[in-house]
Amino acid sequence: MSEETIKVDIKVLVTTDRLKASVILIQNQSGVNLTFENVMNALRANKVTYGIDEEAIRKLVENPVFGSPVVVAQGKSPGKPIDGKLIYHFDIKREIKPKELPDGRVDYKDLGIVQNVRKDDILVTMVDPVDGENGVDVFGGVIKGQKGKRVNLPRGKNTYIDADGHTLRAACDGQVSVIEGKVVVLNTLEINSDVDNSTGNIDFVGNVHIKGSVLSGFKVVAEGNVEVDGIVEAAEIEAKGSVILHKGITGMGKGKIISQKNVIAKFIENATVVAAEDIQAEAIVHSDIKCGGKLVLIGKKASIVGGSCKVGKEVEAKVIGSYLSTTTEIEVGVDPLMIERYREIKKEINELKENIKKCDQGIEVLRKIEAAGKLIDDKREMLQKFTRSKIVSSERLKSLQLELEEIEKRLEERNEGVVKVQDVIYPGVKITIGNVCKIIKEPIKYCKIYREDADIKIAPYS
């Protein structure tokens, strides 16, 4: 058939994203002739002007396809944006790790914990986002490209933003660190004596370096790291950074170390030690240990005797327990700090729900008095107080419920823990992995203890 003898209706379809236009040919003796020009006219009539594929139209005219859409115009998709980013000019994930010497001793002097910066040093550079290029639809209209996400410089204490608006610099000499998502430069408080009556308790916004000991009854609180050259007695240390005890802690049942990062000590004896990340020591005796990461015993002894160790990921030691069958509890596979937080949230949620209920009851009573026109000033103030309290409690409840969901998700996804023994684990040791327990009945050497399904398995150390 020639072009002149084919009569058609030409329908134009455009996709919802306006990036493709197609024509459908329907044979109709009272339609128009199937010609290149008539197809173009149909496109013009539907305002399709951009990205027209003339070659596709010519092919369609020469070899007609009836009843099915044929793409004859293509728009230009908008480009993808590039989000802004931060470039850190210091190591934000530096590991704190003492060196074990060839003879089994541990060098606590070379820990590499300090990242010194000088005033005006560049800490972070901000790179601007790049918006996606605009696209064009088949009607010739602009399709706006997506905007790239902007990031903000994480300005914290003792830092400033340069005049260019893109550079974060140190405002003083000190140690650079990331605390609660902000880059800070911490000054270090050095105490050249013991923490005792002459100093009182210590509460400092940066790092604390104590060149003496921390005596019984005293407390050290720091927003950075705490380093103690001497002994920690029945004292308390709390740090948002790591705690380094060059000698150790003899807690006498009252000593407590709490760190939001790592704890490194020569020995831990009759004390409570809690770390969000890892704990490392040469010997742990009759202590209550909790950490979210790994508990690693190093050095010649590398032993855990007595007490309780609750660890998120892994325990590694040469010796666990003693030949006297000292009761020693090891629990791995669940972050104990997360469990504690879970319990705290549940308790607070119940308290908030109870408070909201009381507020609702109070508001209901006062609204009835108000409706009767008998609401005096002190009752009106009480109504406002109940209303405010309900709003604050409801917001807090919403926030805690989101946190609870996140923790529940992480607890479900938890990795099973493992206990590695390089020398011997003695009878009297109770191993718990997840919710499965095993009591060691006879000495086992060079082993790895892990969970498989509902059983605790013992394999050769690797």
Residue-wise pLDDT for 374-390, tens only, equals 778 788 888 889 899 99
SS3 breakdown of the chain: % helix, strand, coil, rounded to 5?
A: 20, 40, 40
Largest CA distance in the chain: 110
Packing angle, helices 377-412 and 336-371, rounded to 10? 150
SS3 55: helix
- Residue 403: other Cβ atoms inside 10 A: 13
Matching residue, tokens 């088949």: 138
450 phi/psi in degrees, rounded to 5 = -145, 175
The residues spanned by each domain of the chain are 3-74, 85-184, 337-412
Contact assessment for residue 337 and residue 289, using Cβ atoms and an 8 Å cutoff? no
Is pLDDT of 109 > 60? Answer: no
Mean pLDDT of the region 2-10: 74
What's the pLDDT tens digit per position in 253-289? 999 999 999 999 999 999 999 999 999 999 999 999 9
Q: Supply 303's token pair.
A: 């032993």
d(CA 15, CA 22): 8
Q: What are the structure tokens assigned to 378, written together?
A: 């002190």
Alpha helix (H) ranges present in 304-375? 336-371
Q: What does the DSSP assignment read for 129-143?
A: PBPPPPEE-TTS-EE
pLDDT tens-digit series, residues 357-377? 999 998 888 888 888 877 787
In whole angstroms, what separates CA 389 from the centre of its chain? 31
CA dist., res. 372 & res. 401, Å (int): 38
pLDDT digits (tens, 9 = 90+) for 427-436: 999 999 877 8
| pLDDT at residue 3 greater than cutoff 50 | no
Percent over 90 (pLDDT), the chain: 66
Dump pLDDT digits (tens) for 71-87.
999 999 999 999 999 99
- 76 DSSP 8-state letter: B
